[in-house]
Structure 1
Amino acid sequence: MELELRHLRTVRAIAEAGSLTKAAVALSLAQPALSTQLKRIERLLGGALFERGRDGVRPTPLGELVLNRARVLLPAAQLLQEEAVRFANAPVGRPRFRLGATHGPLLGALVDRLVQEHPGAAVTTSNSWSTREIIGQVAGGRLDFALVGVCGESLPDGAEQLAWRVVGTDPVFVMLAADHPLAGAKELVLDELAGEQWTVAPGEGCFADCFSAACSRAGFTPLSMYETDTASCVHLVQVGRAVGLCRATFPPTAGLVTVPLTGTPLTWRHLLGWHPAATSADTAAEVTRYARTAHTEAADRSPSYAGWLAAR
């Protein structure tokens, strides 16, 4: 048997877990199977890698040596795999734009602009509520660009893997049914909605915490939140079951209105990301320009946002 990367991953998992039991759970193995595997690795490397005690396991000097090498080799192997995928998927003969996006109004407009400016280009899209998933696909060479949103000044998980540009920053508005008693307001103070049910599209990051903190500052604790897809959020608002939180660029929709919140307690940034070593980096400035144009046009299409901007 020769040493393989999977052996190093096993050793690393045991060291990180601190016990064979926890490592077996993390690796989806039965503990006896993991113990047998560890013994084979130890025979291959010439000695014990871990000392076992009542509090779990800790690396021996030989184990520390192996772990130090694993911390270099495993990331390097991962990087090689990602570079190979990017190289193998590099466009040949015509432009290609593989876009990944979270929920938001900008993706469709960006696709339209890219197809308009590059009639022969291959433009594909992938959608997920998970920014972590999209960023991982861009970092791994399976997508060219990530178009995602984040709360306030935060960054998404895994942001360090990509280069980023800000497309635009929006206030967060409230969605109300068109016949809601407060639907005609030019602005709403958050505590005016203290007795409402809420709905919002799912996502990662700090938005839920920031919303709860804003409600706390306004003197109330929000009632239960329906976290569901955008279409279901819209339906719940239209039938009066909840009020919603949305970016100010949310497009006009029959049966509901969007209203600014006084003092802008919540904001949302749209970001465009790409891997600096990928071929797509050559078109990043152009795609950023198109995304910013799409953001401006989305703001212009929203009467409530256009009015909010004009007042400032």
Structure 2
Amino acid sequence: MDLELRHLRTIRAIADAGSLTKAATALGLAQPALSAQLKRIERALGGELFERGRFGVRPTALGEFVLARARIVLPAVSGLQEEAERFNRVWQDQRGFRLGATHGPLLGGLVDRLAAAHPDRPVSTYTAWSERDIAGQVADARLDFALIGTCGASTPPENERLVWREVARDPVFVMLTTGHRLADTPEIELADLADEAWTDVPGDGCFGDCFTAACARAGFTPASVYETDTASCVHLVQVGRAVGLCRATFPPTAGIVTRPLAGAPLYWRHLLGWHPETYAHDTAAAVFAHARAAHAEAAARSESYSAWLAAPGTAAPGSAAEQHP
């Protein structure tokens, strides 16, 4: 048997009470159970700790030695526990937010809102094209939150280890140069863009396959698709080299208009994820509320999205339905 702190507390209680009967009462044990436990402790330490007599018990030389150490160790451990709890409370109050996100307009809005609401807590960010990379880092507690998107109703990565909540659900819009023949069209049929080259940002989800399937339903196969970073997508659209696929919240950009696709053949779910057994779980409700507010602000800045939302029969972005792991 390995000696444990509870054994030291038992030895101290017996010495303080001076009687196995009184010690058993103080410890909430039956006296036979306490006697049996003491014998096990004595075997582990190699000798008797107490002499039994008519008037109770008193420590042996070995017992005095063990008691002297116990009276040092037990207060030290109690002090350590109290200090650790105080440290953890302070650390929790000062700890910042570690956000991982794919490239999009919501990350900046969320950072701004968190920094304004918690000026004394640092906010750090990590961005990647891979939703799986970001979700994996949150699952391994290297990041606190994942702000990613999924195409349609597809399952987010690390779904068994993380809690996911839907921030919003947006239609996918198309970006056109302001000189494009359809730039003034309020809503564009996907088939009317059959002869165009396309550009969008990369990812490891199913968006590319969903886009190809939508084009097939519209009666064509995309001639070419340039997968590149956001700045390059914008440039290709501005110079008329391609039309771009974008989230409806894409911010106003010089030389570009964004327009909805008729029938909303593609949509994008913005998701916030965190590990249910980490510190992030305690702040998740507040972070989620900030993410929702950041999305609402981004949507309001887009004239085309605001017009689409205001159109008769158009549903507002999706509700914050929780995705259970």
TM-score in terms of structure 2 length: 0.68
C-alpha contact 1:152 1:269 (8 A) present in aligned 2: yes
- Distance in 2 between the 1:223 and 1:170 partners? 26
Q: Following TM superposition, by how much is the alpha carbon of 1:218 offset from its aligned partner in structure 2, in angstroms?
A: 0.5
Q: Following TM superposition, by how much is the alpha carbon of 1:92 offset from its aligned partner in structure 2, in angstroms?
A: 4.6
Is there any run of 5+ residues in structure 2 with no aligned partner, and where?
1-87, 315-325
One-letter amino acid of the structure 1 residue matched with residue 234 of structure 2: V
C-alpha contact 2:96 2:123 (8 A) present in aligned 1: yes
- Distance in 1 between the 2:160 and 2:151 partners? 17
Partner secondary structure for residue 125 of structure 1: strand
Would the alpha carbon gap of residues 284 and 93 (structure 1) be closer, same or farther in structure 2, given more than 3 Å must change? closer
Partner residue in 1 for 2:120: 120
One-letter amino acid of the structure 2 residue matched with residue 114 of structure 1: L
Q: Following TM superposition, by how much is the alpha carbon of 1:161 offset from its aligned partner in structure 2, in angstroms?
A: 1.7
Partner residue in 2 for 1:190: 190
C-alpha contact 1:102 1:127 (8 A) present in aligned 2: yes
C-alpha contact 2:139 2:158 (8 A) present in aligned 1: no
Deviations 1:186-242, CA, capped at 9 Å, x for gaps: 000000000000000001111111101100000111111000000000000000000
Deviations 1:249-298, CA, capped at 9 Å, x for gaps: 00000010000000000000000000000011000000000000000110
Larger radius of gyration: 2
Partner residue in 2 for 1:281: 281
C-alpha contact 2:172 2:264 (8 A) present in aligned 1: yes
C-alpha contact 2:199 2:243 (8 A) present in aligned 1: yes
Q: Following TM superposition, by how much is the alpha carbon of 1:110 offset from its aligned partner in structure 2, in angstroms?
A: 0.4
Q: Percent identity?
A: 65
One-letter amino acid of the structure 2 residue matched with residue 166 of structure 1: E
TM-score in terms of structure 1 length: 0.70
User: Is 1:233 the counterpart of 2:195 in the alignment?
Assistant: no
Partner residue in 2 for 1:172: 172
C-alpha contact 1:101 1:147 (8 A) present in aligned 2: yes
C-alpha contact 1:138 1:144 (8 A) present in aligned 2: yes
Partner residue in 2 for 1:96: 96
Partner secondary structure for residue 214 of structure 1: helix
Q: Following TM superposition, by how much is the alpha carbon of 1:96 offset from its aligned partner in structure 2, in angstroms?
A: 1.2
Partner secondary structure for residue 180 of structure 2: coil
C-alpha contact 2:188 2:260 (8 A) present in aligned 1: yes
Partner residue in 1 for 2:105: 105
One-letter amino acid of the structure 1 residue matched with residue 232 of structure 2: S
- Distance in 2 between the 1:212 and 1:274 partners? 31
C-alpha contact 1:157 1:205 (8 A) present in aligned 2: no
- Distance in 2 between the 1:148 and 1:189 partners? 28
One-letter amino acid of the structure 2 residue matched with residue 277 of structure 1: E
C-alpha contact 1:152 1:268 (8 A) present in aligned 2: yes
- Distance in 1 between the 2:103 and 2:159 partners? 18
C-alpha contact 1:95 1:120 (8 A) present in aligned 2: no
One-letter amino acid of the structure 2 residue matched with residue 229 of structure 1: D
Partner residue in 1 for 2:243: 243
CA RMSD of aligned residues (A): 1.3
- Distance in 2 between the 1:92 and 1:268 partners? 34
Partner secondary structure for residue 135 of structure 2: helix
Runs of 4+ displaced beyond 4 Å? 90-93
Structure 1 segment 123-202 matched on structure 2, within 5 A:
123-202=123-202
One-letter amino acid of the structure 1 residue matched with residue 221 of structure 2: T
Structure 1 segment 204-219 matched on structure 2, within 5 A:
204-219=204-219
C-alpha contact 1:177 1:240 (8 A) present in aligned 2: yes
Partner secondary structure for residue 276 of structure 2: coil
Partner residue in 2 for 1:254: 254
- Distance in 2 between the 1:163 and 1:138 partners? 10
C-alpha contact 1:172 1:260 (8 A) present in aligned 2: yes
One-letter amino acid of the structure 2 residue matched with residue 179 of structure 1: G
Would the alpha carbon gap of residues 210 and 91 (structure 1) be closer, same or farther in structure 2, given more than 3 Å must change? farther
- Distance in 1 between the 2:92 and 2:163 partners? 23
